[in-house]
């Protein structure tokens, strides 16, 4: 007797842009597809900076994964944290112990922050990759103005109204511009003891120009636009340290209570924030 044919199973870990596009490309094909993600929504990451600056709510940039993939009957969506990959057994192992067998595996877990060998900076300079990050940054920025309003110390007021963004890529440029607009327009008339328009926004970029992956003309236009908003753009400037008191840019210390990290990324591992690890049978 011949064995009955079995539908090949493709497992996709990650429901970001890459994972979703892969799943959609496999929709309505003679394959069984399972998409696994630790969150049940797809996040439009390019607009996170607007959540971080109170221009949008999180719901505006998040869409349920199940709704996006609902037209494709051959695709299942699974909520779960990946604990490891059993390469020998061809299974994805979830934290709850469930094993998801696969014939083909796609790892599409995106990127996370890179602090260039200084993970201790993360507690002082949050990055912007998730809704939780955006909420934290929004709270820090708005709280800084609230604390500046009630402090009687001019030096502390100056520190609170100084915001440093590290990294001149798209996220850093967008954040710097959005925070400058927030202080000069949205918050301008809301306070009595401070003038938010006097906030100091500093964008630090280690390379010779902003947006290094874009055409030089766009880089220059971005720099001029930010400076027109009052942003201090510092090029060829390296951050050498940061802590609760501020940022060291080369030999200079800039005192600030709010630092946003947008300087580097690294691949996001599929297994709970560590390198992908095989289970015992996959060693």
Mean pLDDT of 159-186: 96
- Extended beta strands in 110-231, E state: 111-113, 162-166, 200-204
Q: Is the pLDDT of residue 198 over 90?
A: yes
- In this prediction, residue 113 carries a pLDDT of 82
For 218-250, what is each residue's pLDDT tens digit? 999 999 999 999 999 999 999 999 999 999 999
Q: How confident is the model at residue 5 (pLDDT cuts 50, 70, 90)?
A: low
∠ CA 100-105-106, rounded to 5°: 120
* Cβ–Cβ under 8 Å, residues 201 and 161: no
Q: Do domains 9-110+268-282 and 119-264 have the same CATH topology?
A: yes
Asked if the model's pLDDT at residue 276 lies above 60, the reply is no
The average pLDDT across 73-82 equals 96
Decide if pLDDT at 55 tops 70: yes
Residue 189: count of CB within 10 angstroms of its CB:
10
Whether the pLDDT of residue 273 is over 70: the answer is no
Active site residue 132: no
- Strand partners of residue 234: 204
Residue pLDDT, tens place only, 150-161:
999 999 999 999
Of 182, 183, 230, 174, the C-alpha closest to 202 is 230
- The answer for 208, left when phi > 0, alpha when psi is -120 to 50, beta otherwise, is alpha
Tokens of 36: 């696994």
pLDDT for the residue 238: 93
**Average pLDDT rounded to a whole number, residues 108-115:** 87
Share of the chain above pLDDT 90, in %: 86
User: What is the arithmetic mean of pLDDT over 90-106?
Assistant: 96
d(CA 113, CA 88): 31
Q: How confident is the model at residue 275 (pLDDT cuts 50, 70, 90)?
A: very low
Predicted confidence at residue 281, as pLDDT, reads 30
Whether residue 209 has pLDDT greater than 60: yes
Task: Give me the phi and psi of 201, to 5 degrees please.
Answer: -110, 120
Q: Domain segments of the chain: what residues?
A: 9-110+268-282, 119-264
What pLDDT is stored for residue 2 in this prediction? 41
Could you tell me the pLDDT band of residue 271, with boundaries at 50, 70 and 90?
Answer: low
Q: What is the pLDDT of residue 266?
A: 79
Q: Tell me if 33 sits within 8 A of 75, measured CB to CB.
A: yes
Of the listed 3, 132, 152, 174, which one is catalytic? 174
The third-level CATH classification (topology) of the domain covering 9-110+268-282 is: FAD/NAD(P)-binding domain (3.50.50)
**What percent of the chain lies above the pLDDT cut of 70?**
94
Mean pLDDT score of the chain, rounded to an integer? 91
pLDDT at 6: 84
Considering the domain delimited by 119-264, tell me its CATH architecture. Answer: 3-Layer(bba) Sandwich (3.50)
Residue 164 is predicted with a pLDDT of: 98
Does 270 or 208 have the greater pLDDT score? Answer: 208
Tens digit of each residue's pLDDT (9 = 90 or more) over 18-48: 999 999 999 999 999 999 999 999 999 999 9
* Least trusted range by pLDDT, from 155-159, 249-253, 268-272, 278-282: 278-282
pLDDT given for residue 269 in this prediction:
73
């Amino acid at each position: 007797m011949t064995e009955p044919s079995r539908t090949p199973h493709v497992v996709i870990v990650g429901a970001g842009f890459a994972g979703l596009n892969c799943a959609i490309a496999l929709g309505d094909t003679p394959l069984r597809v399972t998409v696994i993600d630790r969150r049940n929504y797809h996040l439009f990451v390019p607009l996170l900076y607007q959540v971080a600056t109170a221009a949008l709510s999180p719901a505006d940039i998040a869409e349920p994964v199940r709704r996006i993939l609902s037209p494709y009957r051959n695709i299942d969506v699974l909520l779960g944290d990946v604990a490891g990959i059993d390469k020998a057994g061809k299974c994805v192992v979830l934290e709850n112990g469930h094993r998801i067998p696969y014939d083909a595996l796609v790892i599409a877990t995106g990127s996370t922050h890179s602090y260039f060998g200084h993970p201790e900076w993360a507690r002082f300079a949050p990055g912007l990759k998730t809704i939780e990050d955006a909420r934290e940054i929004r709270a820090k920025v708005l709280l800084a103005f609230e604390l500046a309003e009630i402090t009687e110390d001019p030096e502390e007021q100056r520190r609170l109204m100084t915001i440093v963004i590290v990294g001149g890529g798209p996220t850093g440029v967008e954040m710097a511009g959005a925070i400058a607009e927030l202080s000069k327009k949205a918050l301008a008339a809301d306070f009595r003891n401070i003038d938010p328009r006097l906030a100091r926004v500093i964008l630090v970029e280690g390379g010779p120009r902003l947006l290094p992956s874009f055409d030089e003309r766009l880089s220059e236009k971005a720099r001029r636009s930010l400076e027109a908003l009052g942003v201090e753009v510092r090029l060829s400037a390296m951050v050498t340290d940061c802590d609760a008191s501020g940022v060291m840019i080369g030999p200079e210390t800039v005192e600030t209570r709010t630092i946003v990290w947008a300087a580097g990324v690294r691949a996001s591992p599929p297994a709970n924030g560590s390198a992908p690890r095989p289970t015992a049978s996959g060693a």
